[in-house]
Chains A and B, each alone.
Chain A
Amino acid sequence: MIVLFGVFLLSLMVITALAIVRTHHLFVAVILTGIFSLLMAANFFVLDAADVALTEAAIGAGISTVLFLGALALTGEHERANASNRLLALSVVAVTTLIVIYATFDKPRFGDPLAPVHQHVSPWYLEQTPEVIDIPNVVTAVLGSFRGYDTLGEVFVVFTAGIGVLFLFGARPPPRSGAASRNSAAPGQGLRHYLIPRVVGRLLIPFILLFGLYVQFHGDYGPGGGFQAGAIIAAAVILYALLEGEEQALRVLPHKLLIGLMAGGALLYGGVGVAALLLGGNFLDYSVLAADPIAGQHLGILLIEAGVGITVTGVLLSVFHAFAGRRRV
């Protein structure tokens, strides 16, 4: 039954992807991308990846759609229909699809517990987590502690991408005569004149923030953690900005604070690593942070997850404001 549900979801995803590529209206394509991500999240959930499903739902269906729409507002919604090398592209794609499908016949069957991927280090993580770290969520344990180096790297990639966007938008847009001057009428207003979104949004925002904090601090015990929480909290603030206008949102969380969050989270993560070094352990070895190694692991994971959440929130919000605050040329 679950397999059939999975097949249904996957087929829907292929149809959505085809529709995304075929449409010439970019607005439609972006909204379909949101639907695609939601289907993908449902599919991840069916495949037992609750943490990943939560991330995909918050990021793919929420923030990514908002960012794409922000970019569309600056670049235009229509794609010109010109297909010069369409046949060549189609044949390349068709041949490659067939090769990849041919290759799949050598893959272990879906759900096979004897597949090579389940034989190597994974059983070790499942065995060691209760003993060494003693938190229920193995994904968080691997992410935060066993593979803390990787996650630190990812956080810095996110941080760098945020800096990159701010850097790109630091350049002033070239002045355009005539058309450019009349666009200062609308911004800052948000949906303030629309009663229903405003009332519903105001009701929702506190609960979204609360849920974000729950996901942040409950990540050791259930699906969740810094990445998801950061995205959810950023989504709540973006909703606020959409309802009340850019400027009001910037008054609550000013640019400087956002940049501080971006750097502060990454620094907190790195700082925990250095603290472990100073206390006589290895870099990011949390066992030395407290008298009891397991309590040290708990403390370390709590701190680095907080660092991840802070950086992700800061980066996503800075990027959103960079797009939303840009004047269209």
Chain B
Amino acid sequence: MELLGLYHYWVFAVLLMIGFYAVIAKSNLIKKLIGLSIFQSAVFLLYITMGKVDGGTAPIIQAGVENPVFSNPLPQVLILTAIVVGISTTALGLGVVVRIKEEYGSIEESDIQEIDRR
């Protein structure tokens, strides 16, 4: 049980590195962006995990509940906005990829570097 308490953090580490692997090892630009969004999700998971309190509920105050235990609202606020900002920046990245495809005719990193070298 003691070790199970760290399982969330291990999954965070593994997901983070799966995303990072996609970013550094794959040459397809869309795949890199997908890897980046996995990386980002892993960070979200870390924050939300830290906010959890044993036996707590979502931080919504209800009348008539005696001594309620709430999970930490602060990480939730941060991540809530971060998700929306994340999709906006991903969209910007996808826009750049589409423009690269239009100008270079390819979204493989090796092709683009070769065209640049010419």
Residues of A within 8 Å of B99, CB to CB, are: 168-169, 171
B49 pairs with A122, CB closer than 8 A: no
- Chain A residues numbered 93-133 whose CB sits less than 8 Å from any CB in chain B: 93-94, 96-97, 100-101, 104-105, 107, 109-113, 115, 117-118, 121-122, 125-126, 129-130
A68 pairs with B30, CB closer than 8 A: yes
B9 pairs with A121, CB closer than 8 A: no
B107 pairs with A75, CB closer than 8 A: yes
A174 pairs with B73, CB closer than 8 A: no
- Find the residue from B70, B77, B101 having the highest chain A CB count within 10 A: B77
Cβ 8 A contact of B102, one of A76, A138, A322, A329: A329
Residues of B within 8 Å of A90, CB to CB, are: 21, 25
Residues of B within 8 Å of A74, CB to CB, are: 98, 101
A104 pairs with B73, CB closer than 8 A: no
How would residues 4 to 39 of chain B score, 1 for a CB under 8 Å from any chain A CB and 0 otherwise? 111111111111111111101111101101110110
Given contacts A26-B28, A55-B83, A89-B25, contact A49 B92 (CB under 8 A): no
Q: Among A154-162, A183-191, A209-217, which stretch is in contact with chain B?
A: A154-162
**Contact size range, A:** 35 or more
Can you show 24 pairs from A to B with CB atoms below 8 A apart? A7-B4, A17-B19, A40-B41, A48-B57, A49-B79, A72-B30, A74-B101, A75-B97, A75-B101, A94-B17, A97-B17, A100-B16, A104-B12, A107-B6, A110-B8, A112-B5, A126-B70, A126-B73, A137-B60, A138-B61, A142-B73, A164-B95, A165-B92, A323-B94
A245 at the interface (CB under 8 A from B): no
Given contacts A71-B30, A136-B61, A312-B84, contact A33 B96 (CB under 8 A): no
B88 pairs with A162, CB closer than 8 A: yes
> Which residues of A line the B interface, CB within 8 A?
3, 6-7, 10-11, 13-14, 17-18, 20-21, 26, 29-30, 33, 36-37, 40, 43-44, 47-52, 55-56, 59-60, 63-64, 67-68, 70-72, 74-76, 79-80, 82-86, 89-90, 92-94, 96-97, 100-101, 104-105, 107, 109-113, 115, 117-118, 121-122, 125-126, 129-130, 136-139, 142-143, 147, 150-151, 154, 157-158, 161-162, 164-165, 168-169, 171, 173-174, 221-223, 225, 227, 230-231, 312, 315-316, 319, 322-323, 326, 329
